[in-house]
Structure 1
């Protein structure tokens, strides 16, 4: 069973595998409308080159990714993780289409023999080696692989499905590796380029300079005309490219429990408290009356649950604690049971599973083995060949130390109630276990605490009150000015979100889909109705719509005006610094001092005291010793440089330089550089925002 669990953990390799989840209900209306001619837009989620991705395909893989994550982490998905998984699945699907086409064109494939060797060969894939290695010794067992595959048809359908998905992912992963290797083998850095690169990176420049910063000229002295702005903007449009986006302000009205709501839950908690006092079955009572499930774990003094002090924990069975409030919930706790038990147990076992035999046959075999052990004719270690737990069988049936609740419940309950040396047969969902406790920590007091949790939720009246407030806001706001006035008058939170083309929700809020859908269809200046976004109501104001391409001049006016002033200041400073014959005279005329810069290089174009000035360092590198430059326009000011000396390195080690560069490029390939390059060249129509 440990191997099956590990297979489930390898979710990163099976993200590209199509799952079997049903398409989310939110797609149904859209498909129905489209089918009857009422819908708008394409029926495919994306078009990648000549291939399309359907909403069903994307949703199936997305649900598989969600399931794999939850199985691996045993944690519920939060909004941020869901968003990350959506992008991961999207890129996996793009890669599957784009890279697969390239592999097919080049004839890159993985044969059945190669796949066999990756799983069962003398040098299996690292993921396979990890799955079938003894966790205690780290030793890989090829026999365990063979045994697992021989019994694959007898495994649970879900387990078989997981393994086949794992194999498919291994094959795809290996095809990608071969494709990347093919590209890496084509990398070559010519000797002349290697020498030039080595020289540029390792030549050290030592120079003096005089400079004046743009900030030395007040902005107020520089006039900028509209024609100058337009001229600069038209010449530099490429520097103001933007992606398609929508900027939305929204009034955020949270729905929080009122004082009346808290009082009502307090009263409910006290009523439950009175009933809990006399409850005959505490676990059933908790499951029937609590917002959280019954916790069967016995707690020692070292792990007392939050909110319980050691005085209450030390009380007798049946003791109950009156309701108390922590954050947004009331808690009532009762000592259900007290026992002396260890913190950890060490045991050995044999598992007789029911996958290759009937339960009657499994129990009969378990009884026979138990009798043999009880009669002293053999030990568990002698009989591990019968065990279906391959991992522990490799260690003579021995399990490492484990705490209560780590094993399946029947196994755990038995192990923690047994004496050292005791032998017992126990049935679990995996079959029949023959268990012997071989060691345990010292016994200590442990208490099982039944907890009723009653969450303080906003009442229906509170929801209606906040909705009416939000609805009134939506009606009264008719433009940006009134929208902002209402926010200020009502002391309401104003939030902002910039929605990129494929965002389907406000980040961190899965319930905000309706607000985002409205923003997609709205015009600039529109105000939305009140939308329920989970724990609040929101009213949106669409401030701006930004189309893909160069930003309009009005939206980048401040940036353009700043750059035009810089250009004008640079021209003024160049004129002041032109014609100088030596640095000292120039410095005197400008009222500044000559500065020194040593050890500067193209690979690190930082000038001491100035910071990064790549344009200046680039121009300086072209000077010979004892040569002075013309005024150079830099990022922070204008400079004149006098080159004192250049420390040029000797002949480079071409092989080492080439190897270093090729390793760097290989790393980029392994990190997805090829996929990203092909993605840029592929025509992709992405309609995810219309469906999800």
Structure 2
């Protein structure tokens, strides 16, 4: 025991030291990695920088949420593609704000409160306001728009969206408009230049030429080395710049529904046919749809014959009441269709109403009985000869229609957006009908006094019930694809194994080039997680440890190459420049064959080609008849020196040319008006130059994009 105690006493400091070192190592590692708010800016919220100005991720996300809410409020679908589009649009907006904000400040380009008021309520209001606050005569009601905007309450989504997103966008758009106009107005085209261009463009040339095509020399006789590629790229660096990119290959394992999966869904839907046929009331139909997990909810309304655009429309129209058709494939669903009812119905209706609300938190304090008593007295007064318009102005709680005499026009497609009781009166009734109905909505309850003023395009409409089930993969199908992908990934831990397993399993391998900002891989779809893996986690030659789910496929990628921003590497540039270098080498061989030949006939004899002609070559053309897009040859065709001697060999796109100019003439342009031409060109340049100036500023800016670290 004493020996053990001695060891404990003397070793205590070693144990304490070891624990201390472990704690220090843990803290330092955490700080370096940036986990949980490390010491060395690991928790940075800098989404990017533009000329040193930071774009904060929190600001970006706040704006993104507002934009997404706005999209959702307008009824647009919110999916991965929409989210990516919003983020990409916002990123471009933040970059332009950071870049142009300083430019606008320096130039004194601002938007005053008065100017903003003119933008919103002036003669040319934004399209959004024009649509919402234009009366039946087509006149924009600025006062109504002003009152609606003033009524927005702070803290509500509508207020935040309007003042936090819409107004700043409107102001920035106006600043951009001023800037581009300022730049555009600076454009000037001198008349002498236009006259010179007109003279040149009227020229026509006829030439004789010999073309020795590069294809006359076999590719196998010309070697292009890595040094050749490197030298060519270094001599043309501006043409062969690259962004930060990754080169991938990937294989896919299909988890789409199999034929057995499709047959199983077909049987499930078929088995529900008798139950749907036996359902005669709306609740019974709704129960059948709910019990069979129908993808399509029951719409207790009618659809006009002319609006039935589905593939089986003719068959469905001919169904007897109560009859069921199907199952049939509608998109990705197996569907049963039951004819519930049919009736005549207008395509559009004009009506007017008076609304008396009760139980409305935002409206007058009124009970149900008080509202009913008031609407009854209004109805009696109107039937007794009182003016409808005066009743609307005095009593109606619908502020949106007060100044229009309570009038609204609705299309049949809007039926489901209206209160059911209101819609049934105006669409199911007749012109001239006058009726009081009670409505209870989520936002308010109330009584409408309604008069149907007119109905147009009356035709047969159908009420149909649809029971539909999507054709989806079974667990067996999904598990099979998932398992195969997982096994492939486990057995392919490097690029060599990846290639071997592709060959062994006879899989299709697909290449892909991706940038940091990419959200999609061509041919694959939304693949942001794969892109993030390639930039954040993977090293060259590595294979993903697990498969990524993309649509109905499991994808296993491998990182083939890493390309940093700058001049292209030999490997990246070779496919782009190899043929050019090869053609240059072929051109040198062809020029040697031509030697000192001083006539086209001698050139043709030395190269085994023919002397050909090209007539009526226009100076402002981009191609030569029967030759193609050979700009160097086209330029030489107007060199008067070549009227007395043949040209030197010209290295073209498809071969080496030697030409002789036979004739240069001119075709007068009597319609040319230098002043009109000057005005047109300056107008076109002015429209384009402002936008291009902003793009040039972006290109010249130092932009650091960290989005790949955040999403």
Q: Distance in 2 between matches of 1:334 and 1:581?
A: 87
Counterpart CA distance in 1 for 2:171 and 2:226 is 61
> Does 44-53 or 530-539 show the bigger shift?
530-539
Q: Secondary structure at the match of 1:606?
A: coil
Answer yes or no: is 1:55 the counterpart of 2:75. Answer: no
Offset at 1:404?
A: 5.6
Give the distance between the partners of 2:136 and 2:527, measured in 1 at CA: 48
Deviations 1:58-117 (A, max 9, x none): 233334334444444x34245544443332222122222212221111111111122222
Choose 393-402 or 95-104, whichever is displaced more. Answer: 393-402
Give the unaligned 5+ runs of structure 2: 1-32
2:542 corresponds, among 526, 531, 548, to 526
In the alignment, which residue of structure 1 is the partner of 2:246? Answer: 246
Q: Relative to 1, partners in 2 of residues 1:387 and 1:216: Cα closer, same or farther, differing over 3 Å?
A: farther
Q: What is the Cα deviation at residue 208 of structure 1?
A: 3.1
Quote the offset at 1:453 in angstroms. Answer: 2.5
Q: Matches of 2:470 and 2:522 in 1, distance apart?
A: 26
Normalising by structure 1, we get a TM-score of 0.81
Contact 1:258–1:462 (8 Å) recurs in 2: yes
Give the secondary-structure state (helix, strand or coil) at the position aligned to 1:294.
coil
2:433 corresponds to 1:414: no
Shift of the 66–506 alpha-carbon distance from structure 1 to 2, 3 Å rule, reads farther
Counterpart for residue 449 of structure 1: 464
Q: Over the residues paired in the alignment, what is the CA RMSD in angstroms?
A: 4.0
Q: CA offset at residue 688 of structure 1?
A: 1.0
| Residue of structure 2 equivalent to 1:179 | 179
C-alpha separation in 2, matches of 1:382 and 1:415: 20
Contact 1:347-1:400 at 8 Å conserved across structures: yes
2:351 alignment counterpart: 348
1:500 paired to 2:515:
yes
The 3 A distance-change label for structure 1 pair 575 and 391 is: farther
Residues 347, 439 of structure 1: 8 Å contact kept: yes
In the alignment, does 2:559 pair up with 1:542?
yes
Residues 45-444 of structure 1 mapped to structure 2, 5 A cutoff: 45-72=47-74, 74-77=75-78, 79-121=80-122, 123-125=123-125, 127=127, 130-131=130-131, 134=134, 137-149=137-149, 152-153=151-152, 157-164=156-163, 165-190=165-190, 193-222=193-222, 228=228, 230-258=230-258, 261=261, 265=265, 269=269, 277=278, 281-287=284-290, 289-299=293-303, 303=308, 310=315, 314-317=319-322, 328-335=332-339, 337-338=340-341, 340-352=343-355, 355=362, 357-358=364-365, 360=367, 366-379=375-388, 383=392, 396-400=405-409, 402-403=411-412, 405-406=414-415, 407-410=417-420, 411-426=422-437, 427=439, 429=443, 432-440=447-455
The separation in 2 between residues aligned to 1:533 and 1:290, in whole angstroms, is 26
Determine which structure has more spread, i.e. the larger CA radius of gyration: 2
Secondary structure in 2 matching 1:612:
coil
Match of 2:24 in 1: none
Aligned residue pair count? 656
> Secondary structure in 1 aligned to 2:640?
coil
**Residues 315 and 219 (structure 1 numbering): CA distance in 2 closer, same or farther, change over 3 Å?**
closer
| Mapped partners of 2:302, 2:206: distance in 1 | 73
What's the CA shift string for 1:470-506, capped at 9, x where partnerless? 1111122244454345345545443333211222454
* 1:516 matches 2:527: no
Q: Distance in 2 between matches of 1:314 and 1:558?
A: 62
Indicate the SS of the match to 2:473. Answer: coil
Structure 1: gaps of 5 or more residues: 1-30
Summarize the Cα distance change of 1:542–1:70 in structure 2 as closer, same or farther, 3 Å threshold: same
* Superposition deviation, residue 415 in structure 1: 2.0
Write the distance in 2 (CA, Å) between the matches of 1:413 and 1:131. 26
Distance 1:690 1:202, change over 3 A: farther
The CA deviation at 1:214 is: 2.0
Which of 695, 702, 706 lines up with 1:683 in the alignment? 702
Alpha-carbon spacing, 1:585–1:496, altered in 2? closer, same or farther (3 Å): closer
Give 1:687 deviation, angstroms: 0.9
> Greater CA deviation, 88-97 or 370-379?
370-379
Is 1:35 the counterpart of 2:37? The answer is yes
Residue 468, structure 1, aligned to residue 483, structure 2: yes
Distance 1:38 1:533, change over 3 A: farther
Question: How far apart, in 2, do the equivalents of 1:647 and 1:316 lie?
Answer: 79
C-alpha offsets along residues 399-454 of structure 1, whole Å, 9 cap, x if unaligned?
44621643413321332333332212343557654321234468776553333333
In structure 1, C-alpha distance between the alignment counterparts of 2:538 and 2:102, rounded to whole Å: 39
SS in 1 for 2:428: coil
Q: Return the TM-score normalized by structure 2.
A: 0.79
